[in-house]
Homo-oligomer: A and B are copies of this chain.
């Protein structure tokens, strides 16, 4: 299937500020693109592309005082297959993990692994290691935490989610990531597009979505403690230790959001031509 992806994000900038945006499709999905995937910055700015230490495509530019608009519209091919499920995927002992996976066992800003070692062990050590243990973590969080946009806040950590039991997408994933790491399972935070394909439509305006990835057997797998069921049409944009690493935009001065729309929808057969 072909997905149309895009966004229109606008800010009011009170004073010139540098911005780093992770608003492109992840390099691992570039070959699936069916149209250019270029961030349009208005007013026009000199744009610099680079790949960060996590492998994400980043754009850096300077936003002058005034209105700023970041937009994009592209097309991508998608298999139309739901997230892969592999109940037999094994946990890999730390000594056998690829080096690159090790950093996803450590603490990060919103994932206080050091405060969860006992809690995670008490809750999940009884579940057989491997895919099932990660799924048990997702099930627990999905059951125990309630979703609500009013519960979002930028400084909320996994421990806050664990005690408050309310949150948005990112909060569910932060808690899951932290539990996994506390059990020596590499886990990383992921952001991207997730349209309502093959699921009952909601009236909620689209947003970018967060999920997480876990290293089992010989690769990274997608999990999602918020939706907690295999979904069709995820398009990865970035992965990192937690939301701090992969914010859609990080501005190094004040940037007041004034408008925000995201699109991720399946092209009809006619449109897809």
Contacts and interface: CB of A to CB of B under 8 A. Distances in A.
Interface of A: 18, 20, 48, 50, 52-53, 58, 60-62, 93-95, 99-100, 102-103, 105-112, 114-116, 118-119, 144, 150-151, 153-155, 159, 162-165, 184, 244-245, 250, 252
B155 A105 contact: no
Q: How many copies does the complex hold?
A: 4
Contact of A115 (B93, B107, B155, B245): B155
A155 B53 CA distance: 25
A20 B186 CA distance: 15
Contact of A53 (B53, B60, B93): B53
Nearest to A155: B114
Contact of A94 (B18, B94, B109, B116): B18
Given A20-B94, A60-B94, A115-B163, 20 more contacts: A18-B93, A18-B94, A20-B102, A48-B95, A50-B99, A53-B53, A53-B103, A60-B99, A62-B95, A105-B252, A106-B245, A108-B108, A109-B111, A109-B114, A112-B163, A114-B244, A115-B164, A118-B163, A119-B163, A159-B159
A43 to B, nearest CB: 15
Given A103-B53, A118-B144, A244-B107, A60 B163 contact: no
Across the A-B interface, the 8 shortest Cβ-Cβ residue pairs: A18-B94, A107-B109, A115-B163, A107-B244, A18-B95, A50-B99, A94-B252, A62-B95
Contact of A109 (B50, B93, B108): B108
B52 A102 contact: yes
A152 to B, nearest CB: 9
B184 A252 contact: yes
Contacts of A62: 95
| A62, A108, A163, A245: residue with the most chain B Cβ atoms closer than 10 Å | A163
A118 to B, nearest CB: 5
| A50, A109, A119: residue with the most chain B Cβ atoms closer than 10 Å | A109
Contacts of A52: 99, 102-103
Contacts of A244: 106-108, 114
Nearest to A243: B107
24 contacts: A18-B93, A18-B94, A18-B95, A20-B94, A20-B102, A52-B103, A53-B53, A60-B94, A60-B95, A62-B95, A94-B252, A106-B244, A106-B245, A106-B250, A107-B109, A109-B109, A109-B114, A114-B154, A114-B155, A118-B165, A119-B163, A150-B150, A153-B164, A159-B159
